[in-house]
Amino acid sequence: MRNIIQDQLTPEEKQQAENLITELENIFLNKLSALTEKQRSGYKAINEKNKLFVNKIKDYRNHSPSLSSPDIDWEEFDRDYSARGYLENLLGRIESLVYRMESTKILHDYDNYQDSLTDYAFSQYSKGAGKPGFTEKVAELSQFFSRSRSKSDPTEEQL
């Protein structure tokens, strides 16, 4: 397939997207944490079972507050619970956008790679026809192709 995707964004839309990303970065500046890998492994995200546990504790707090521990700052608990839910929702939306952006980028990469292969084939043909400049071009580009294929891996090279 040739040219399986085209850039659908106008220059104005690209600039608007850049501005919105900058605005998001500014909104969250100094408001989001960036844990190190060591810190992440120490805190760990809670799994689904533990999320259900937290939800059940919140449910008990909402419906039977007399059964809740007096040692908990319940206002802070509610703020954490609300912030976590908000961030999870926003993160899901951003992850969906990132997935679609990555998929679109893959299609653009594919188009570029296929066009590059076509240009390389043209250069090889032109070299064979004795056209000036193509011997050097083919020599320069040949470094990107292995000279022999392994019998254990007959698949095409990765993009």
Global pTM reads 0.76
CB distance 159 to 110 below 8 Å:
yes
d(CA 18, CA 21): 5
Q: What is the distance between the alpha carbons of residues 72 and 94, in angstroms, rounded to a whole number?
A: 33
User: According to the model, what pLDDT value does residue 150 have?
Assistant: 60
Calculate ∠ Cα 37-40-44, nearest 5°.
145
What percent of the chain clears pLDDT 70, i.e. is strictly above it?
A: 92
C-alpha 134/C-alpha 119 separation (Å) is 11
Is residue 157 over pLDDT 70? no
- Residue 159 CA to residue 156 CA, distance in Å, equals 9
Model pLDDT, residue 46: 87
Q: Which residues contact 58 (CB under 8 A, 6 or more apart)?
A: 77, 78, 81
pLDDT of the residue at 3: 81
- The mean per-residue pLDDT over the stretch 10-16 comes to 96
- pLDDT at residue 5, rounded to an integer: 86
Q: Tens digit of pLDDT for each residue in 76-109?
A: 999 999 999 999 999 999 999 999 999 999 999 9
